Amino acid sequence: MNCPDMERKINKTLVLSAQDVQQVVLQKELNKVMDTLIERLEKALQSYHPDEVKTPMRSGFNYENPVTGLIEWMPLYHKGNDVVMKVVGYHPDNPSKRNLPTIISSISIYCTKTGHLKGIIDGVLPTALRTGASSAVISKILAKKDAKIFGLIGCGAQAVTQLHALSRVFDFEKILIYDSDESTINSFQKRITALNLNVSIQASDVTKIVEQSDILCTATSIDVGAGPLFNGVQSKAHLHINAVGSDFPGKIEIPLSFLQESFVCPDFKQQALVEGECQQLEDKYIGADWVEVIQNQENFTKYSHQKTIFDSTGWALEDWVVTNLFMEYALELGLGTEIELESILEDAKNPYEFISEMPVETLILREVEYMKSELK
């Protein structure tokens, strides 16, 4: 899989703004986008081979000043094809203090023949979509097929797409929700209007959600050192958890004892050991990773009768799949704006070419004016 061909105009970068991404969703239909994304992600995981697709661990800066947050970069190189890189910010005070999403990102596509930036796309909505789709892909294998009760702890932006994606593959009867912020609980029903779900949504508490859910998604912005979200709670024997919120050293949502009793599947083990729930675990408690489970599904469906956890930290492969999909749709629908971002001139060896083309008198006049201003 490769990003759609944008090479025909070497000096043009295709920009897909938030409005373009939204137009893709509106014109293609929200459920079709999610269903296609789930399907594409499954295919990408089935055919993934580390010799073909390189995904070095993400890196970044975390800081306390001016606010607590981090900016990190998540690169992927599809051998012989493009480099795709998401740059993502996590600033948990954004919603309450600045009315901005906690996760803000953009995704760039680079040509490996020339270094040219072929495209750049909003990453906010694509990230939420692909994070939901990822939980759906793994839940199809590890969760009970007839799961009826879906729990959500943390009801922010990711919770909306978790519910959307999961409800595309399960027929839920009841959704139990909890968030430490009451206004977030109160606004949840309104925020999922677009999903048009005929299902009961009930505010609950963490204990009841863990006890009653068949599938649970934890998507909180819990502070480093403040986890886990629950302790000493009995769950159903087959509970499957998509643990989405733990993606930073010291930030955890699931108690150690619960992890030790469960089949734990990390999305990207190397990263999950540093940032995910796996940072709490000795190697013997960590199960097969996401790729292994997807590529050998028949060996893992038996776990749907046991406690299972998807340790979702976020992997560049997911961003690659969603970027390809949106670029493909945008080209088909004629969306996006082409800009000349890079200085690509007729004479590749003269970065001053644009100056050389100006009349000599103008250049001299400008130089004299500059010298005069310096003398003042």
The answer to whether residue 184 forms part of the interface with ligand NAD (CB under 6 A) is yes
Instruction: Name the segment binding ligand NAD (CB under 6 A); options: 8-16, 47-55, 244-252, 295-303.
Output: 244-252
Q: Which position among 55, 271, 313, 323 is part of the footprint of ligand NAD (CB under 6 A)? A: 313
Task: Report the alpha-carbon distance of residue 120 to residue 15 in Å, rounded.
Answer: 5
Among 234, 252, 291, 227, residue whose Cα is nearest residue 41: 291
Instruction: Name the segment binding ligand NAD (CB under 6 A); options: 12-20, 24-32, 306-314, 338-346.
Output: 306-314
Question: Is 164 within 8 Å of 134 (Cβ atoms)?
Answer: no
Task: Report the alpha-carbon distance of residue 23 to residue 128 in Å, rounded.
Answer: 16
Task: Report the alpha-carbon distance of residue 239 to residue 315 in Å, rounded.
Answer: 24
Which two structure tokens, joined as six digits, stand for 213? 């859910």
Task: Report the alpha-carbon distance of residue 324 to residue 318 in Å, rounded.
Answer: 10
Instruction: Name the segment binding ligand NAD (CB under 6 A); options: 109-117, 143-151, 242-250, 360-368.
Output: 242-250
The answer to whether residue 102 forms part of the interface with ligand NAD (CB under 6 A) is yes
Residue 79 CB, shortest distance to ligand NAD, in Å, is: 24
Task: Report the alpha-carbon distance of residue 91 to residue 72 in Å, rounded.
Answer: 12
Residues 220-239, one symbol each (x = binds ligand NAD by CB under 6 A, - = not), give xxx------x----------
Residue 252 CB, shortest distance to ligand NAD, in Å, is: 11
Among 314, 309, 221, 223, residue whose Cα is nearest residue 270: 314
* Residues contacting 186, CB < 8 A, separation 6+: none
| Cis amide linkage into residue 266, ω under 30° from 0 | no
Instruction: Name the segment binding ligand NAD (CB under 6 A); options: 34-42, 90-98, 192-200, 368-376.
Output: 90-98
Strands 174-178 and 59-63: unpaired
Residue 18 CB, shortest distance to ligand NAD, in Å, is: 15
Instruction: Name the segment binding ligand NAD (CB under 6 A); options: 61-69, 114-122, 153-161, 302-310.
Output: 153-161
Residue 303 CB, shortest distance to ligand NAD, in Å, is: 20
The answer to whether residue 247 forms part of the interface with ligand NAD (CB under 6 A) is yes
Site residues (vs ligand NAD, CB under 6 A): 90, 92, 95, 102-103, 127, 131, 153-159, 179-181, 184, 219-222, 229, 244-245, 247, 312-314
